[in-house]
Structure 1
Amino acid sequence: MASPMNGGDGTHSYSKNSTLQRCGLSAVEDAIKEAVMQNVETDKLLCGSTRFAIADLGCSVGPNTFHAVETIIEAVQHKSSTNNLEFQVLFNDQIGNDFNTLFASLPQERNYFAAAVAGSFYGRLFPSSSIHIAYSSGALHWLSKLPEGLKVKDSPAWNAGRIHYSGASDAVVKAYAEQLEEDLENFLRCRAQEIVGGGMIVILVGGVSHANVQHRSTVLFTFVEAILIDMVKEGVLAQEVVDSFNIPIVYACINDVRRIVEKNGCFEIVKMEMVEPVDIATAETNVVMHLRAAMEGTLIDHFGEEITEQVLVRAMRLPTHMMVDAAHGGGIFALLKRK
């Protein structure tokens, strides 16, 4: 399982290096508001209660999560016929997430009660029929675990010399795809139990339009892979240490996501489309800093701190055109309504 994003609020923290993810939200912010106002009937959802529960699944440490939940709350308030709603926001992430930083940076002027729920969103997190809107951005492309075949040296899916499925053998691609399908099925099964009838899931996740298309962000993985291979050639790293490392990320094809949702049968697809993030000015070190904030813990878990630092220092040499490509890799935007 991948490590959480870098905590704290320092130079290498996720809170300081997550503007690309914020751009993804900005690209669909109006669509989220419109979907909530058109599809969420608060009177029917609440059945006389005034508590409205919103869960952010994979919240990390902020500040993006605060902006997202405020966007949802604003839309619900605009649609609601009552002025006395009490909003409860449940911030979810892995047990190792830096919830201390998250709660220390909560907006002082906020109109919701906040709570943390630690654990994997590939399992149950909340009581039955207790969540009205679940939101997940930039999280579902992380797998719950590496496919088993990638861990066994004699397996057809042993990914020697590579750290991802991009450019890998058919067996490796298949292993990643099967793990993704299992994870998404578990995610939907659990949310179907937790979300009230008529409630919604809002998903924004890195993805591709067709199965044979590589997501632009994989260029970063290719670059890190090349760095690791150079370190093997220099005698800094053993080949088998690199061979046994794989990044637990899959950029799903939109048609596969649609098929898995339809197979689950508990959700109506209100909207599912490809989106491109808003263009931003990309400083030369910006994308590498984002990479560090997101993946440093995962690299340290496998290679240790000293090797990871060397990898990230070398990654600062990433060519500008590769950074621009990686920064503008699109995603899948999905709005699902509980039947």
Structure 2
Amino acid sequence: MCRRFVLFCVILCFKYVALSEWKKPTVFIAILARNKAHTLPYFLTTLENLAYPKDRISLWIRSDHNSDKTVEILHKWIATVKDQYHMINTAFVEGEESYVDEHGPAHWTKERFNHVISLRESALNLARDLWADYFLALDCDVFLTNPQTLNILISKNYTIVAPMLKSEGLYSNFWHGMTDDYYYQRTDDYKPVLNREKVGCFNVPMVHSCVLVDLRKYVSDLLTYNPQQVPNFDGPVDDIITFAIAANRSGVSLNLCNDETFGYVMVPLEQDDKLIMDLDQLTNIKLEILSEEEPLVVSKLLESYISFPEKDTLGFDKIFMINLVRRPERRRRMNLCFDELGLHVSVVDAVDGR
């Protein structure tokens, strides 16, 4: 009887070891970068800090039409991490800074839409050809501050799933309503999800900026960014709208999860905005993050690409911050905010008898 018990325990131990040694699913991450030198140091650091085996991740990175150091930063980072990832597939086009008929870097011409559609479709098809388990479309103005994001999304077991990302005001990476002609529609259901008054995973008509697709499921073969691949397509020439329409017509739900704090996304520029406005947006989102959690970090490799405004007192003789001595954490966060805003502030210690 004793021998049988020992043998049973040995079998259980071997079974446990075998299960615990399963490899993680493979993930193909597609990244498009244009004029993102200001966000890339933060984006690449949060990407690198994801708690997921890098040898199970393939990176596909494309960049063109830049007027900043986007490509330089990508080259420097890739040279350092290339041996850690399973594969890094890149194509960078230098020289041309704008599209024909483009009014500015935030202007989406038909040529630009078609180019982005072609790139996204190529990435999705390559992920399929490489037999990747998952495809992650990830924008460079997304900061995944939760290192477990990828593990959590995979555990949801949806064909398409996105993490809800915080931002300024009422902006986020999902729609909770869509008009009959496939454009954004604000609904009463939006704010409760955005503000996490309702928590869980929700079927929504649109997700973007950070979207995970389970390529192991047969129905994922029907997903596309290309309008020409959608029967009787009647929507606009737009990559994310086409993807949403293709999913809807294939019976695939777009799921958004807000049960964890996953990260942040920047508000996109308006058509006539200058690139400098995106720097202001970055400052705004960094201040938003500072109000809720630890600041965005940057790897030492990319620190040289980060700059802060020269500090002044806004024309006043002095600016004071009165801070309770017993609240050093608040003081630390405020000083970080002053660094971002370029404010020279004198600190006055305060006590309240406690």
Q: TM-score, normalised by structure 1?
A: 0.29
Question: Higher helix fraction: Structure 1 or Structure 2?
Answer: 1
Pick 1 or 2: higher relative contact order, CA cutoff 8 A, min separation 6: 1
Q: TM-score, normalised by structure 2?
A: 0.28
